[in-house]
Amino acid sequence: MADCNNTKLNYQRDELNDQILAFEIRGVNVERVDHNQYVSNAKVLLETLMSGIEGAPLKYAQDLTDYTRFSFPNMKHQDDFMALNVWNVFTFFLDDFLESQTTKLEYWVRKWEQNITDGHSSGTDFLDLLFNELHVRMSKVLSGKLISMHKSWYMKYLSFYAETEKVKIGDRMYTLDEYDALRIVDCGYIVMQVFLYGSAKFDPDEYPEIVTDDAWTMFNTWAARHFYYVNDLYSSKKEILLHQGKYTLIYIIMCNYKCDAQTAADKLVTMITGAWTMVIKAFILVDDNTAL
């Protein structure tokens, strides 16, 4: 996941990392995306909320609403949008906090697993208070089923945390399948799905013929892959320059296929195209199956 505070990790940069800084992105069809116009005051709302939690005015150099505004341009209702936006900020901050724990990581992972399970933190730090505010907002816009889905994802994300950190610092070389298993969870796609369900008032329990369809699983799996493939293609250079991770997807492709960075980047572009083809194929299958 992205880092709000650009936490630097301790690892030895090597020649392959240096190669990654030089590759070009070729063959990607870029489409214009307009940011969300329905909640135009999102930045003010978020800064007001966070200043209230802190007890003092808070302003950040980067706009913490950007990711949500550009990723969810069609989310119309303020409560839905702000719940998701607060979730994104909380998760970025929690990721930064856990990443900074060099000696007590296991303790804090267990602590936050308990907080997520309880739906409340008894702590008094900013992160604890932000989580409690988040849970209030989620309870307002998500059904019990969707909150349960969210908890299930978060528990898996936290249980994977130590392993994903090993990827970042280059603990060992991973196969593409191993990386994929971690990244599909780590990228947070399932949570985006939960909030989209909430905003559309879609209850999975009311549509078993859809959510139990193999094509539905196929659609979401490949959509998650497409999501993280694109992210990893564009973030690889930044993560190396900011010392945020050694083993990016480009690096792992280079090692698994014994190729240079440009060849790996071109292969990843092909993977992006292939993933989108699978998304469309699965969508058509879901549509055909549910129309019967």
Sorted by where each starts, the structural domains of the chain and their CATH numbers stand as 15-27+36-291 (1.10.600.10)
**Which of 122, 62, 55, 119 lies closest to 92 in space, CA to CA?**
62
What span, in angstroms and rounded, lies between the C-alpha atoms of 11 and 5? 18
**Is residue 160 scored above 90 in pLDDT?**
no
pLDDT digits (tens, 9 = 90+) for 7-45: 554 456 677 878 888 899 999 888 888 899 999 999 999
Which residue reads 């940011």 in tokens? 35
Judged against a pLDDT cut of 70, whether residue 86 lies above it is answered with: yes
Q: How confident is the model at residue 1 (pLDDT cuts 50, 70, 90)?
A: very low
Q: What pLDDT was estimated at residue 248?
A: 86
Query: Is pLDDT at 192 greater than 80 in this prediction?
Result: yes
Average the pLDDT over each of 7-11, 28-32, 54-58, 261-265 and give the range with the smallest value. 7-11
pLDDT, tens digit (0-9, with 9 covering 90-100), for 205-219: 888 888 889 999 999
Among 120-124, 166-170, 285-289, the least confident range: 166-170
Q: Please say if the pLDDT value at position 264 is more than 80.
A: yes
In angstroms, the CA 142 to CA 262 distance is 43
Q: Are 98 and 65 in contact (CB under 8 A)?
A: no
pTM, rounded to two decimals: 0.86
Average pLDDT over residues 142-167: 89
pLDDT at 236: 87
Give the per-residue pLDDT at 10.
Answer: 47
Give the span between the Cα atoms of 121 and 123, in whole angstroms. 5
Structure tokens at 265: 């980047």
Residue type, 232: D
Percent of the chain beyond pLDDT 90? 63
Report the range of poorest mean pLDDT among 1-5, 56-60, 113-117. Answer: 1-5
pLDDT score recorded for residue 9: 46
DSSP state of 187: T
pLDDT for 242: 76
Residues 165-199: b if buried by 16+ CB within 10 A, e if exposed: bebbebeeebeeeebbebbbbbbbbbbbbbbebbb
Q: Identify the pLDDT of residue 13.
A: 62
